[in-house]
Amino acid sequence: MSIEALVFDVDGTLADTEEVHRMAFNLAFEELGLGWHWTQAEYRSLLSVTGGKERMKTYIDSLPLRAPEKKRLHERVPEVHAAKTQHYTDMARRGGIELRPGVLRLLDEAQDAGLRLAIASTTTAANIDALLQATLGPRGLAMFDVIACGDQVRAKKPASDIYLLALDTLGVPPERAIAIEDSVNGLHSALGAGLWTLVTPTFWTEGSDFSGAGLVLPSLGDPAQPLPGEPGGHLASSAWLGIEELLRLASVAPPMNAVQALYREDS
Ligand code: XBP
Ligand code: MG
């Protein structure tokens, strides 16, 4: 089956954004007088929960508070998340975030090869808009035929809802699409939807169990930022992942149905 589309995750995949998200959370907590501060170690653990609102609710539930106080804080989560999103988009628009190595190159190579591009992300449309505008300029949003994100689905990653929404909106079956992710939650979401998945972990997700991934690389790499040990480790033709090699690797993949069944049970 020939591949028609690449479906990109955003946070950790298009760009290493989680430090800016963490700073935005802490700025909102300070602005609203909550007395909370998430350290990098704490945030890395909290990232096991996808969705900023869901992440804050999980944090609140971990605090030594009585139920009425937890309920009151839960009710403030939308307000806190709106403040956090404002801080995040402000920092993104000020140029605080760069695309990861090879992302722009692969996006362009995919478009030149006639593939369609889509996004399947847990974060908000506002955050995606700010990131794409700041890193790709006005053409950023136009590059993606579909942007499936945030609260468009009830069940967030690792549930497969967001990838199923992206595929349905694209009108592309899973066997004709490739997912590119950074986390276990994202990998399971994509696998459960039946997509062959490339994983490029970051500091926030490295060392996780990426079983089921079609390929795991430190990043996509670039001529200016070649991957150590490549070609010859995972890659055959160059020290960065080009679209031709990505399509070749996905095309020789084992049938997804067995893998998909496994991960569908998980989600
Ligand atoms: C990663 C997430 C998001 C971000 C924070 O999304 O789980 O929750 O950490 O963004 P992705 P919000 O699927 O792109 O990796 O606060 O907007 O949720
Ligand atoms: Mg991610």
138-172: per-residue pLDDT in tens?
A: 999 999 999 999 999 999 999 999 999 999 999 99
- Give the rounded distance of the alpha carbon of 60 from its chain centre: 24
Which of 103, 61, 53 lies closest to 78, judged by CA? 53
d(CA 26, CA 114): 42
Respond yes or no: is residue 11 known to be catalytic.
yes
Instruction: Parse the chain into domains and list their residue ranges.
Output: 5-16+99-266, 18-93
Give domain 18-93's CATH architecture.
Orthogonal Bundle (1.10)
Q: Do domains 5-16+99-266 and 18-93 have the same CATH topology?
A: no
Q: Is 198 in a helix, a strand, or coil?
A: strand
CA 2 to ligand 1 center in whole angstroms = 30
CATH entry 3.90.480.20 includes domain 5-16+99-266: no
Residue 222: what pLDDT?
A: 98
Rounded to the nearest whole angstrom, what is the distance from the C-alpha of residue 48 to the centroid of ligand 2?
11
pLDDT at 267: 44
The residue contributing the CA closest to ligand 1 atom 7 is 50
9 is catalytic: yes
pTM higher than the cut 0.85: yes
Asked if 10 and 200 touch (Cβ cutoff 8 Å), the reply is no
Ligand 1 site residues (CB inside 6 A) read 9-12, 18, 21, 50-52, 121-124, 127, 157, 183, 186
Digit-coded pLDDT (tens) for 3-40? 999 999 999 999 999 999 999 999 999 999 999 999 99
